[in-house]
């Protein structure tokens, strides 16, 4: 790709924001603020800082192993071998990302049916959106970037305007009086970081497309950090807007708090506006998910960790099967959660746990490679030695242990997560032993993992096998 067609810092920020700001985030934002009040912003700041440690670790891994399309899969392969890699990537990335995007699409279709009173099943809206995003991504990274830049701008702009209107009490609805805080001490706010965590996950989707970024060593880590800070600011403004127009208890109990806020703020016009925000959010989420996961699947196919068809590209250089595969399963999960607010809420938390586990592995990978390759050149390195990776690990473990304030729901999430990873463990063992034909825990040298990005590697080693 020529330099002029590569993605700049603006596009990196847009992609970072793309998956993170989603309608499911608006649901979590409403529930979190409705539970503890404006002080939920404190939990958001803590969660944002923890996510910054994760993107910093991923940026360092990318700096050590640049231009790798499989991202975390290749990093973990070089550190811990194929078994943890397959489990974490299929469970921690593929499943949870597809699941969360499906949930996102379901929330969007719910918003559309609530706002546009047409005799059309809600799933139809999801189908149309899924097909549009899939076709756009089949046309390549340049089309992807153009869509992402536009959508991210409109999405963030709408949220800022709606938040400011509420914050400065300029809405047409009735201004209400309610406390800024619903809790007595800050420890209760900290316990809400698990809810707030969902508001910031996904900025690392820049990593798989970093080879298409101008001055990647600067723009990738900087773009992800700017994206997270921007998200925290925008969502804080929304919380301040909630305070003036929507009762905390109504906000916490609503399946679509963004629609409730929009109606209380500006009447039917506000509700329609927030529906537009939901539409932009699902386009943004699906766009980032489809593009990022297709690239990750392509990288894993090169490693023989997924079927080779995931590595096939069309005339635009797009891994077309990955794009179609991811889009199809997004639609499937959307259909499963269609019109069920309880299912949506539960699946968001399950997906969050999967994601957190993969984030822990990113921090562990950094610590392992610093030990093994202390003098290897890195264009970016997380400052203060192991401090930030260790903070990221401990903070993420804490959030997994406190994923829900409801003990019954929390246990159900843990059980479902354990069952899913047990199934993945069996699948991974047999795939590695009989398809890859290599030891399940044998790490692969960094230089070999990086060499696998070049098609010449497979030509040279065709007879011996790629792992021998």
Task: Output the CA–CA distances (angstroms, integers) from residue 365 to 16, 222, 359, in the order listed.
Answer: 22, 21, 10
pTM reported for the whole predicted model: 0.81
pLDDT at 392 over 70: yes
On average, the pLDDT of the chain sits at 83
pLDDT over 90 at 321, yes or no: yes
Q: For 37-83, what is each residue's pLDDT tens digit?
A: 999 999 999 999 999 999 899 889 988 887 776 677 788 889 998 89
Segment 100-117, tens digit of pLDDT: 788 778 877 877 887 777
Of 349, 417, 288, 268, the C-alpha closest to 24 is 349
Structure confidence at residue 272 as a pLDDT band (50, 70, 90): confident
pLDDT greater than 60 at residue 144: no
Tell me the H-state helices in 307-445: 320-336, 341-372, 387-401, 407-430
Nearest to 286 by CA among 426, 112, 151, 427: 151
Instruction: Delineate the domains of the chain, giving CATH numbers in brackets.
Output: 7-434 (1.20.1740.10)
What's the whole-number mean pLDDT along residues 244-267? 88
12-26, 98-112, 299-313, 342-356: range with highest mean pLDDT: 299-313
Average the pLDDT over 275-279 and give the result. Answer: 78
With 0-12 / 13-18 / 19 or more C-beta atoms within 10 angstroms meaning exposed / middle / buried, residue 222 is middle
Backbone phi, psi, residue 213, to 5°: -105, 135
Question: If you average pLDDT over residues 141-158, what whole number do you get?
Answer: 67
| Sequence-separated (6 or more) residues with CB below 8 Å from residue 409 | 346, 349
Question: What torsion do the CA atoms of 94, 97, 102, 103 make, to the nearest 10 degrees?
Answer: 140
Q: Can you tell me the mean pLDDT for 388-398?
A: 93
Comparing 185-189, 192-196, 292-296, 354-358, the range with the smallest average pLDDT is 185-189
Greatest Cα pair distance in the chain = 74
Mean pLDDT, residues 347-369 taken together: 87
- 168 burial via Cβ count (<10 Å: 0-12, 13-18, 19+): exposed
d(CA 276, CA 421): 37
């Amino acid at each position: 790709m020529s330099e002029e067609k590569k993605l700049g810092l603006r596009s990196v920020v847009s992609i970072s924001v793309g998956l993170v700001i989603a309608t499911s985030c608006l649901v979590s934002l409403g529930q979190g603020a409705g539970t503890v009040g404006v002080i939920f912003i404190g939990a958001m700041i803590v969660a944002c800082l923890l996510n910054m440690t994760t993107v910093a670790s991923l940026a360092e891994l990318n700096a050590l192993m640049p231009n790798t399309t499989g991202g975390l899969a290749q990093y973990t392969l070089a550190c811990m071998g194929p078994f943890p890699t397959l489990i974490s990537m299929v469970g921690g990335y593929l499943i949870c990302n597809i699941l969360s995007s499906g949930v996102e699409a379901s929330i969007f279709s719910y918003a559309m049916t609530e706002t546009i009173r047409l005799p059309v099943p809600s799933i139809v809206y999801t189908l149309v959106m899924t097909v549009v995003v899939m076709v756009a991504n089949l046309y390549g990274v340049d089309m992807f970037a153009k869509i992402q830049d536009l959508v991210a701008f409109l999405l963030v702009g709408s949220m800022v305007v709606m938040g400011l209107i509420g914050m400065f009490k300029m809405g047409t609805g009735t201004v209400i009086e309610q406390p800024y805080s619903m809790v007595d001490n800050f420890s209760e706010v900290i316990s809400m970081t698990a809810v707030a965590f969902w508001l910031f996950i996904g900025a690392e989707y820049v990593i798989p497309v970093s080879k298409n970024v101008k001055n990647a060593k600067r723009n990738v880590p900087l773009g992800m950090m700017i994206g997270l800070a921007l998200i925290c600011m925008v969502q804080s403004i929304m919380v301040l807007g909630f305070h003036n127009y929507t009762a905390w208890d109504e906000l916490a109990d609503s399946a679509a708090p963004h629609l409730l806020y929009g109606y209380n703020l500006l009447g039917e016009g506000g509700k329609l506006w927030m529906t537009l925000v939901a539409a932009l959010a699902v386009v943004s989420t699906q766009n980032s998910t489809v593009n990022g996961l297709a690239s990750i699947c392509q990288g894993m196919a090169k490693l023989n960790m997924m079927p080779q068809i995931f590595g096939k590209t069309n005339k635009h250089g797009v891994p077309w099967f990955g794009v179609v595969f991811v889009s199809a399963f997004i639609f499937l999960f959307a259909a499963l959660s269609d019109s069920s607010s309880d299912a949506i809420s539960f699946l968001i938390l399950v997906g969050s746990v999967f994601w957190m586990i993969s984030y822990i592995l990113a921090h562990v990978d950094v610590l392992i490679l610093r030990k093994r390759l202390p003098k290897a050149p890195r264009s970016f390195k997380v400052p203060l030695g192991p401090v930030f990776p260790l903070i990221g690990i401990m903070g993420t473990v804490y959030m997994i242990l406190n994923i829900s304030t409801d003990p019954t729901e929390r246990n159900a999430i843990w059980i479902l997560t354990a069952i899913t990873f047990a199934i993945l463990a069996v699948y991974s063992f047999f795939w590695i032993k009989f398809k890859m034909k290599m030891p399940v825990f044998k790490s692969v040298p960094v230089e070999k993992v990086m060499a696998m990005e070049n098609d010449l590697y497979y030509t040279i080693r065709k007879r011996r096998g790629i792992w021998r």
